[in-house]
Amino acid sequence: MNEVASFRDFYKFLFIVISVLALSACQLTGPKKEAQPVAMEPEPIEEAIPPPTDSLTPNQRVRKALQHLQQGDYENARNQLNWALMDDPDHSRANHLLEQMDADPIEYLGLKNFFYDVQPGDSLSLIAKNFLNDAYKFVILARYNKLDNPSKLAPGQRIRVPGVMPERVKIKAIPKQKPEVALTEEPTKSLVETDASTDPETATSQLDEPTPTTTVEPVTDVEPASETVVVVEPEADLEQPEETATTVVDRTPSSDDTLSSARQLHAEKDLPAAIYLLESENSRNPEAAEIRSQLASYYTEYANQLIRQDDLENARDTLEKLIILDASDSSAINQLIYVEDKIEARKLLQKAANEERGGEYQTAYRTYGQVLTYDPDNLSAQESQVRVRNQLTDNYHRQAMQLFRRQELDEAIGFWNKILELDPNHSLAPGYKARALEMKQQIQRIDSKPN
């Protein structure tokens, strides 16, 4: 009985301990809360690019985008750039401009900057070219300064330019060489050489009197004089002012002199030298309207000369300078578009030729098509695209015939469709495609008959 009682007491004790632990656990954890639904943020929906309403080359679209960007019209500029990239995804300038439109200006250009006061004749493109080495960075420079309309830049307006202000070139005075004094002549004594006891009147009279020049014989065993000898320049030299920075600047040729020299160089058929002279003068004196007008005329003439020589890269650089000088010159803008199209077509033509040599006929065919987008009259691209097209259609037809013989009709018909997309007038593809479709229908009818 005692053992039974002890077991009973033990189980009672164990039950009490378990109950206490369970109650403690309930108090610690507390009532369970229902899980709250997590609000899902809606995924951003990419806006569809509207279809273009005109047919322009990628370079023409980029140039049109630049005109919008000059006015601060980012929406239309973005559309033009996106349309340009549809035709040419690797267009470097379109990608560069879109990058500037989307980038954070401070991260892109840096926090360090200096103030610049806009000068007459300045544009944001010119400032970007001078300080950022890229005229097309006017887009990010405008955003850096929070300018709504980059074209409305007024003289005297203060803007921030990223980087460190370049040091200004200081004109140093040219020291005048003093004439050498012959060793056989005794230097003339000046007022400094007079005795300290001499009164001012006596000193003045001594200075006014001409001092005779005597020949000094060499003497040996004589101690040198203790007094210091000061060489005095001739009286005529004393009257001439020392050359300073101001006098050096005054000797710089005037705008009229520069204009005359430039015209002389132009007459001598040295157009680059004439342009260099006018560019230097325009940077020193941007308010000289005649200099700017003559420089614009020479830019136009030089660009036409370079285009005739097929030097398209230098022609493009010259036209860009002309547009920076006068952004309203529509003929220069159109000519720049023409040159840029030719340059892009030349690059793509080389790329397509490499692809063709590597046997990448499908890629080469598309690239030749891009060449013709930029330069529709390019005979080399036209002939090459026809040659690559014939190579492609021949390859497709051989594959289609192999599939047709194995009665893989759907795959064979797919290849003949590719041929007809490339060459609707192909001599063999329409007939074989029709036979494959007829055979396919016959097989379907046989398969549909009941056994």
- Between the alpha carbon of residue 368 and those of residues 355, 364, 382, 388, 428, the distances in Å are 10, 6, 8, 9, 25
Question: Is 284 part of any domain?
Answer: yes
In which domain, by residue range, is 433 found?
350-448
Do residues 369 and 430 both lie within one domain?
yes
Per-residue pLDDT of the chain (451 residues; tens, 9 = 90+): 455 455 556 555 555 656 555 555 444 444 444 444 444 445 444 457 788 888 888 888 888 888 889 889 999 999 999 998 988 888 888 999 999 999 999 999 988 889 999 888 788 888 988 899 888 899 999 999 999 888 888 888 999 999 888 765 443 444 445 444 444 444 444 333 434 444 444 444 443 444 444 444 444 444 444 444 444 444 444 344 444 433 334 445 678 888 999 999 999 999 999 999 999 888 888 888 899 999 999 999 999 999 999 999 999 999 999 988 887 888 999 999 999 999 999 999 999 999 999 999 999 999 999 999 999 999 999 999 999 999 999 999 999 999 999 989 999 999 999 999 999 999 999 999 999 999 988 888 887 777 6
> Domain boundary at 129, 162, 195, which?
162
157 and 63 in a common domain: yes
The CATH number of the domain holding residue 295 is: 1.25.40.10
The structural domain count of the chain equals 3
Same domain, 407 and 322: no
pLDDT for position 252: 54
Predicted confidence (pLDDT) per residue in 267-279, tens digit: 999 999 999 999 9
- pLDDT digits 0-9 by tens, 286-295: 888 899 999 9
- Distance (Å, rounded) from C-alpha 14 to C-alpha 28? 21
Shared domain for 372 and 434, answered yes or no, is yes
Structural domain contains residue 5? no
292, 356: one domain: no
Q: 114, 132, 162 — which closes off a domain?
A: 162
From CA 226, how far away is CA 220, in angstroms rounded? 16
Both 316 and 354 in one domain: the answer is no
Burial of 62 (0-12, 13-18, 19+ CB in 10 A): buried
Q: Are residues 306 and 375 in the same domain?
A: no
In a shared domain, residues 314 and 368 = no
Q: Residue 158: what are its φ and ψ, rounded to 5°? A: -100, 125
Residues 153, 62 within the same domain: yes
Task: With respect to residue 215, please indicate whether it lies within any of the assigned structural domains.
Answer: no
In a domain, 302, yes or no: yes
Give the H or E element holding residue 115. Answer: strand 113-117
The answer to whether residue 421 is domain-embedded is yes
Last residue of a domain, one of 135, 162, 189: 162
229 belongs to a structural domain: no
| Listed residue (59, 54, 55, 53) closest to 334, CA to CA | 59
Is the pTM higher than 0.75? Answer: no
Dihedral (Cα; 277, 280, 283, 289), 10-degree rounding: -10
DSSP 256-303: HHHHHHHHHHHHTT-HHHHHHHHHHHHHH-TT-HHHHHHHHHHHHHHH
Report if residue 134 sits inside a domain. yes
Check whether residue 365 and residue 418 sit in a common domain.
yes
CATH number, domain with residue 362: 1.25.40
Q: Is residue 40 part of a domain?
A: no
Shared domain check, 299 and 365: no
62 shares its domain with 155: yes
